[in-house]
Structure 1
């Protein structure tokens, strides 16, 4: 009797709105199960209702120094997810936070409910000492780079002025005239002083690249002056007097 009843219920009756082939396809695609008594019904996923039901939220009180933050979070969330919610409130990145609950630091993978966190529970937030030390080192490093960049910029400004004087001397010599030898020597000395300044600047990263560019720039000007000295010496000194380029020389610290 049982076998005959199951055989009759094997294929459900097709809905009136569907054709025979369409109803058969729908019936074949459904996962069926036999209930006690021989009734054939659609199999239900026991986890479906649990997933669809919203997880209740709780409010936890997090103290950070003298500040108190009340955060709404799912009771089935992890401490790591709670850290992400606290990041915009405290200004601390999740990796820089330490959450203390019931006198014990909690791992980011621990669940709130399993740890005993309930509504209105109190959690202590502390900044990781290692993170604080890293920030301090990074701050000092940035300040050092800023000082280096500022010093390089000052040298670059001085080199711009010397480059303008070099262009004036070069223009005179290019016309076949002579300039005072001391002008070339003094200009070379001033450029070398800028090289010494650049060498004394300790720089890293972008500042180091800027310093290297300025060093090459000054070296190029010094090489140009060496060529001008040779050309200036070859000028016909019997037919003309040396041209004195009136330049206002500035005093540089050694």
Structure 2
């Protein structure tokens, strides 16, 4: 009589095969740590099958934008795309999804982003504060430039008068001293006006330039005051011609 022994070895062989295949599958599965400490199955690096794109609906205040992005992109890449739409730099953006602000390194698919998902975009409060400060600074610079430009135009006019006065005195024509004194006073007022202007950068350079022009005009007038005192006034004499007045009485003829 023959006995069957295939059952025992058959079961052992089947069990061994199942264990081996299970171990093989586990060895083939690779894992990776995502930002935030989440352990997930590593993405396939097969470049022949690219990840699909998803459309995101972005709410930014009263504005609405829609962008297309790879489903395996990060929120940092989303911010770069939103820069072209909103004008905000990536470091000025805060992206909210499912009530939570998302970090730049977080992946869309890991966070549950799907096609037509809605995200909220907010401007970082610190960037708003920086913009306000920058706007005030620019406004201050523009105001200083306008004020310096106005002073420059006044200096141009007074400088022309100084040149005309210098030419007259060099030609021996005496100028009333009050004119020289008045010009000096007007230039000193412009110097005080320049000192009161708060400027920086290019505006500060223009301010210093106009200050030097004013100082040069004042120094020129101080020299002209001395030269003008040495000029002798010119006496003009005129020889007048006299004419005999017409007769005041007329000769009358008498008739009988």
The corresponding residue for 1:192 is: 188
TM-score, scaled to structure 2? 0.71
Which residue, out of 110, 122, 125, partners 1:126? Answer: 122
Number of corresponding residues:
193
The corresponding residue for 2:106 is: 110
1:53 to partner: Cα distance: 2.9
The corresponding residue for 1:240 is: 234
SS in 1 for 2:76: helix
Mapped to 2, the partners of 1:202 and 1:49 lie a distance apart of 61
The corresponding residue for 1:20 is: none
SS in 1 for 2:47: helix
TM-score, scaled to structure 1? 0.72
1:136 aligns to 2:142 (yes or no): no
- Residues 166-202 of structure 1: CA distance to partner in whole angstroms, max 9, x if unpaired? 1110001111332111111110110000001111111
Matches within 5 A, 1:165-184: 165-184=161-180
1:148 aligns to 2:148 (yes or no): no
Which range moves more in the overlay, 112-121 or 162-171?
112-121
Mapped to 2, the partners of 1:167 and 1:206 lie a distance apart of 28
Mapped to 1, the partners of 2:110 and 2:97 lie a distance apart of 12
Give unmatched runs, 5+ long, in structure 1. Answer: 1-46, 242-254
SS in 1 for 2:114: coil
SS in 2 for 1:87: helix
1:151 to partner: Cα distance: 0.9
1:85 aligns to 2:57 (yes or no): no
1:55 to partner: Cα distance: 2.5
1:96 aligns to 2:92 (yes or no): yes
1:49 to partner: Cα distance: 7.2
- Residues 14-69 of structure 1: CA distance to partner in whole angstroms, max 9, x if unpaired? xxxxxxxxxxxxxxxxxxxxxxxxxxxxxxxxx99712432211111111112221
Mapped to 1, the partners of 2:91 and 2:178 lie a distance apart of 63
The corresponding residue for 1:33 is: none
1:204 to partner: Cα distance: 1.8
Mapped to 1, the partners of 2:204 and 2:126 lie a distance apart of 28
Mapped to 1, the partners of 2:136 and 2:163 lie a distance apart of 41
The corresponding residue for 1:3 is: none
Mapped to 2, the partners of 1:80 and 1:135 lie a distance apart of 22
CA RMSD of aligned residues (A): 1.8
Mapped to 2, the partners of 1:167 and 1:183 lie a distance apart of 13
